[in-house]
Structure 1
Amino acid sequence: MYDQILVPTDGSDTAEAAVEHALDLAEQYGATVHALYVVDTDSMSLSLGGEQLDRIEQGRYGEMEEVRERADRATGYVADRARDRGLETVEHVSAGKPHSLIANYIDDQDVDLVVMGSHGRSGIRRALLGSVTERTLRSTHVPVLVVDVEDTD
């Protein structure tokens, strides 16, 4: 049923809450686990110049090495736990609009299932902050399992 399971991660507690769910499913189905970190260039554009953003989008971090380290830590968290269970893993880092790159990755890698964390925000907070999870739900054709971080405590 599931051969390729994607766990988009930003290294937050919210993202990490989804990892165990993804790994349980991957074990059950013998699936490969994909850990994807997206450097959100929209949120960074306020503090970075265009040249720095261009370098990040091309995978050249230069003085932005802390961004690469954060990405490696986030995908490494997923990969380490998957390997502890004997699961095959793929780590990938991209830069751009998170929901768009997640949708592209799903298509490019033939992902069967996405497992994502959510803060469980509603009402005005969701409207003001937006939601990568919600946008991903609307921009992909594969099932998305949403793990509410508040329900995992």
Structure 2
Amino acid sequence: MPTDGSKYAESAAETGFDIAEKTGATVHALSVGDESLTHISSVGGPPPKTTEDVAEIAAEWADELADDAKAYGLEAEAVVRTGSPAREIADYADEVDAEMIVMGTAGRGGFERMVVGSVTDKVVRTAPVPVVTVRPDGTVDAA
């Protein structure tokens, strides 16, 4: 279950926890420190984040999701990667022989989404396993 700390990831987590409970699955709370953010800066804005910065933020999100899963009574582990989120999510699912990926359909957005495209869309197209997507209204789709 990938997370970017957004309300969309939290909504997807509820669905993921239900699926994990019914199937006895372990929750892999995966957060990817987006290395593209280490190159973004704006005039008069803060300097770009370092790889360590994005990894630290990702670790907080992964730990929070894993803690929520454990509170739900599930076996869970927090996992942190750095790189391109969609690629890292698909690669991790392949490495651990995941049975499925559960994720929200929206997360970090705005200008970044227009430039690099939706992470969820990329995961749906490249993942080696089925992807269950959860819309902001809680509607569930499978791809």
TM bucket (normalised to shorter chain) is 0.7 to 0.9
User: TM-score scaled by structure 1?
Assistant: 0.75
The structure that is helix-richer by fraction is: 1
Q: What are the ranges of 5 or more consecutive residues in structure 1 without an aligned counterpart?
A: 1-6, 121-125
Query: Which residue of structure 1 lines up, in the alignment, with residue 92 of structure 2?
Result: 105
Higher RCO (CA < 8 A, seq sep 6+): 1
- Which consecutive segments of 4 or more residues in structure 1 shift more than 4 A? 126-129
Q: Which residue of 2 aligns with 1:95?
A: 82
Aligned to 2:138: 152
Alpha-carbon shift at residue 76 of structure 1 (Å): 2.1
Q: Which amino acid aligns with 1:21?
A: T
Aligned length in residues: 130
Q: Pairwise mapping of residues 12-23 of structure 1 onto structure 2 (< 5 A)?
A: 12-23=6-17
Which one of the candidate residues 1, 5, 9 is aligned to 1:11? 5
- Out of 26, 35, 39, the residue aligned to residue 29 of structure 2 is 35
> Over the residues paired in the alignment, what is the CA RMSD in angstroms?
2.5
1:117 partnered with 2:104? yes
Match of 1:140 in 2: 127
Which segments of 5 or more consecutive residues in structure 2 lack a partner in the other structure? Answer: 42-46, 108-112
**Whole-Å Cα distance in 2 between the matches of residues 94 and 119 of structure 1?**
20
Summarize deviations over 1:102-123 as a string: whole Å, max 9, x none: 1110111111110010139xxx
The equivalent of 2:44 in structure 1 is none
CA distance in structure 2 between the aligned counterparts of 1:152 and 1:137, rounded to whole angstroms? 18
Contact kept in structure 1, 2:33 and 2:57, CA below 8 Å: no
| SS class of match (2:14) | helix
TM-score by length of 2: 0.79
